[in-house]
Structure 1
Amino acid sequence: MKSTRTTQLLAASVLGLALAGAGVAGPAAAADDPGTGIDVSVKIEPTTTPGQVSMTVADNNGVALQENGSDATARQFVGTLPTVTVTDTRQPEDIPAGEFWAVVGQASQFVAADDPAKTIGPQYLGWKPRLLSGSSTGAVAAGEPVSSVISDGTGAPQVGLEGQELLVSTANSADEIGTSQVNADLALRTSTDVAAGEYHSTLTLSLFNQS
């Protein structure tokens, strides 16, 4: 309401000035020449948002590993990583030659809730990435499986989750564009004499853009 009143006051001031001038010069003749009109134009370009590479993780309450596949050499606890989605909305001409991206996973040490002195290192956690959707040209691929330092018998490198690739792209910018999804089978393999308890670790996923 305050802004409306202000507008009205400004209009009244203009009108008062026009009336004061009328007593001196007399009424002005109305212009009837249509050629005096002025065309006012503006070209408004569509709003554009620069393309980017982004990563999201499906809503989840964490992953509770369950014992499955234990044997005489190790106790094994398995689960499934929530779906990870990478979306590239860039134009091919906006991607430098030779550039690629990668999603890398890093697990922290498992720490027992009842005793911080009881731990299980990230080298005991392995995964097998699984591509759910991606380029039909093979421009995006799931990372290589890795095993716990206690072998799972598959022949996968026994290095654990200490900076391992979950999803990677090639350097072909035209084929990278789009959406790719991946998850992974997780497997924690420990010694058979591992101390009982509820352990917690944080698995950090990071998207790196590299050239």
Structure 2
Amino acid sequence: MSTTLRRSLLARLGAAGLGVCALAVVGAGAAVAAEEDTVDVRVDIAPDEEPGVLALTVANDSTSLTEAERDGTDRTFTGKLPTVTVTDTRLPENVDPSSYWYVMGSITDFAGTAGQPPISAAESFGWYPDIVSGNPEGGDQVVAPGDPVDPGIGGFVDAELLASVDSASDAAGGAYSATADLLLRTPADVAAGSYAATITLTLLQD
């Protein structure tokens, strides 16, 4: 190969090499940001409550009784217990099949807000439980309402509102709601005025 031809070829190869370098430099230069900004990312993760919770909730913290038709010489006042819901998020295999749960209710005497003599709840108050939701349609009952309690039978103490029927494990993974019709029966000569009482609802498991 002549000296002239060799120089010409080396010159072309050198130019190609410089071209590759030039492209590499330009490419690297394009990846450099002229300016930057940031975006903060936040997430709040609540404690995991499932499975493993047997809980009681009440739809409202108060209710009122209004006068109904007289029952003989007595005066009667009726109302509705706010919906009570038992939620069981436990897995059936984690629940003792021999256990069961139930909700009990008790009530204080009706105290007169203006100094009237109290009305004895034990002798004057009753309720009539009813299941609102939770039992499967067309299937066996999972929960059942408690027995009705009539006024004047000797005491409204630890009355059952609802309970699992056979086993708490059968009710695991569900939510069950109940309410009750409330009834207060007083003598006709009861002192006029406002009265207040408190129902306590307790979820228990044996």
Larger Rg: 2
Q: In the TM superposition, what is the alpha-carbon distance from 1:130 to its structure 2 partner?
A: 1.1
Q: Is the 8 A contact 1:135 1:176 kept in 2?
A: no
Partner Cα distance (1:172, 1:71) in 2: 40
Distance 1:141 1:159 in 2: 24
Aligned residue number for residue 125 of structure 2 = 125
Q: Does 1:208 align with 2:171?
A: no
Aligned to 1:164: 159
| Match of residue 100 from structure 1 | 100
Tell me if structure 1 keeps the 8 A contact 2:101–2:168: no
- What is the rounded CA distance, in whole Å, between the counterparts of 1:186 and 1:89 in structure 2? 30
Distance in 1 of aligned mates of 2:205 and 2:169: 16
The aligned runs of 1:128-139 (5 Å cut-off) are 128-136=128-136, 137-139=140-142
Amino acid at match of 2:141: G
Is the contact made by 1:129 and 1:182 (CA closer than 8 Å) also made in structure 2? yes
When normalised by structure 2's length, the TM-score is 0.70
Give 1:55's aligned residue: 56
Secondary structure at the residue paired with 2:82? strand
What is the root-mean-square deviation in Å for CA atoms of aligned residues? 1.7
Distance 2:168 2:125 in 1: 33
1:104-133 residue CA offsets vs partner (Å, 9 max, x unmatched): 110001110000x61011121101111111
* 1:1-211 equivalent positions in 2, closer than 5 A: 49-60=50-61, 62-115=62-115, 118-123=117-122, 124-136=124-136, 137-149=140-152, 158-177=153-172, 178-210=174-206
Secondary structure (helix, strand or coil) at the match of 1:175 reads: helix
Q: TM-score, normalised by structure 1?
A: 0.68
CA contact (8 A) 1:147 1:159 kept: no
Corresponding letter in the other structure for 1:188 = L
Distance, in Å, in 2 between the alignment partners of 1:59 and 1:76 is 23
Structure 1 segments of 4+ aligned residues over 6 angstroms from their partners: none
Q: How big is the shift at 1:52?
A: 1.8
Give aligned-pair identity as a percent: 40
Conserved? CA contact 2:113–2:196, under 8 Å: yes
Q: Indicate the structure with greater strand content.
A: 1
